[in-house]
Structure 1
Amino acid sequence: MDKIQNTLWSLLDGFILKVPTLLLALATLLIGLWLIKFLVRFLNNHLHKGKIDISLTNFLVSILKVILYVLLLVTVASTLGIETTSFVAILGAAGLAVGLALQGSLSNFAGGVLILLFKPFRVGHFISSSNNVDGTVLKIDILYTTLRAKNGTTLYAPNGPLANAVINNVSDNENRMQEYSIGISYQANIDQARKIIIATLQADPLVLKDPQPVVLVASLGDNAVNLTIRSWSANADFWPTYHRNFQLIKEALDQNGIGIPYPQREIHIIPPVTKLPE
């Protein structure tokens, strides 16, 4: 009986000695939880005010919460006198293993963060990239960007390679330049052809007056004088204007007798040399 009482008193004395440590750990836990809520709310509001994409905002807030809760757990354990060195080592090893196993996904995640932060393109933009991805952007997620290709199929492009590629954003500007390449015969009058082409483009109300259409001699080819024609229209009117005016330019040149020659070859036939009779 005395032995049991001594054990209980010993446990009570140990508990009393630990009370300050327990109170300190409890205070650390409560203050830490309050600080985590404050930091999460602050970051959430700041990202929303900065008009950061909602999916990126939610993901960053979730990552921050996990990191802060792990740090709080380690701090509280350390306050209670629990050895945390091995615990931190285990977390580090686990993080390294996960990182090695998910290298591609982490690359895509980093690319998604960069795309959502710097916004080289947005939903609805038509883009083409140096890694042969082109289409209209339907959705931008953390790991993948979804696009609709020209043929109507759906593309899922990993954000890692996409963020590191050269991106041509066709929809980013209000206006867009159309460029045509047409060859006229060497017998045709270049100035006359230029006036006809410019008049055809200026007759189209969708072709902008500023900048004005221009017609330039691009090269003297084997079969034709090659002209480069440039005009501008609103981005939304690009393709209808481009295809319609290509046809109208061809018809206008035909009506004025300016031909677009076919590939030609000149063949010189050398008669055989006949031997004189001896």
Structure 2
Amino acid sequence: MYINPEQFSNYATKFINILIDYSPKLISAFLILFIGLYAIRLINRVIRKIMVKRNLDPTLTKFLADILLWALRILLFVTFISKLGIETSSFVAILGAMGLAVGLSLQGSLSNFAGGMLIIVFKPFKVGDTIEAQGVIATVLEIQIFVTKMLTGNNQTVFVPNGALSNGTIINYSMQGERRADLTFSISYDSDIKKAKDILLDVLNKNPKVLKTPAPEVFVKNLSASSVDFAVRPWAKNANYGAVFSETLENCKTALDEAGISVQPFTLQK
């Protein structure tokens, strides 16, 4: 194959001229690329440290940091190719269409993800708390990105979607550290009300698991058609709540029987 030296020289000259003319854009584009990559790493480290200081869940911290990292990288890439003189409008339109399609297909998952972030940021409960939500009373084992993992009292593992959890009513039994048991004892109208009240209060005061502050309460709650209803309200630490609840039922019934006070058949428990 024969190569004309003069023609080759012309091509080389044109290439060098184009390279010289294009070099400012090329240099500035790569400067933006290298400086941008360094800035992205720096921003990512700073954001991670901030989230760790705010005690965010490690899984969420990593996930959010990764999302931020790739979002900044995509933005940097668009800026880089735009600086090189490449048309970016079509590229941005394709990215937008892809994002819309993914968002529509993962609408439920995105709702759960947003709910998980709200739970971790605003902390209506934390791992180890006993909560009531979505018809479930259980202890929180793990707050994941899309679901919250909980363990019920009968050793069943329950996964509740974070979207529904964050938008519903949550009762946190562990947040205050203390809990009140609300019980109702019904006695006959023939019984001595003052004596019954003193007996019930004495039972509460003798139980070492019942807190002195706040003080336990016993008072007439209602005069129903067939009984006098007493509200019996002892306070206990969360760890002792179950024991106080059951012991109060048993000890109050025993004490009333020993005093000859008739307990009506329907003892209400709340």
Verify same fold: TM over 0.5. yes
Q: Equivalent residues in 2 for 1:44-193 (5 A)?
A: 44-129=48-133, 131-193=134-196
CA RMSD, Structure 1 to Structure 2 (Å): 1.2
Q: How far apart, in 2, do the equivalents of 1:235 and 1:72 lie?
A: 52
Q: Percent identity?
A: 42
In structure 1, what is the equivalent of residue 226 of structure 2?
Answer: 223
Amino acid at match of 2:145: I
In structure 2, what is the equivalent of residue 196 of structure 1?
Answer: 199
Q: How far apart, in 2, do the equivalents of 1:215 and 1:166 lie?
A: 30
C-alpha deviations, 1:167-198, integer Å up to 9, x for none? 00011112111111110001111111000000
> Displacement, 1:12?
2.0
User: What TM-score does the superposition give when structure 1 sets the normalisation length?
Assistant: 0.91
User: Residue 240 of structure 1 is aligned with which of 229, 233, 243?
Assistant: 243
In structure 2, what is the equivalent of residue 25 of structure 1?
Answer: 29
Farther-moved stretch of structure 1 (49-58 vs 235-244): 49-58
Judge conservation of contact 1:133–1:157 (CA < 8 Å) in 2. no
Residue-pair matches, total: 262
SS at 1:5's partner residue?
helix
Unaligned runs of 5+ in 1: 264-278
Amino acid at match of 1:147: M
Amino acid at match of 1:7: Y
Q: How far apart, in 2, do the equivalents of 1:45 and 1:88 lie?
A: 31
SS at 2:80's partner residue?
helix
Q: How far apart, in 2, do the equivalents of 1:213 and 1:32 lie?
A: 64
Q: How far apart, in 1, do the equivalents of 2:39 and 2:265 lie?
A: 77
Amino acid at match of 1:139: E
Q: How far apart, in 1, do the equivalents of 2:232 and 2:28 lie?
A: 79
Farther-moved stretch of structure 1 (50-59 vs 111-120): 50-59
> Displacement, 1:221?
1.7
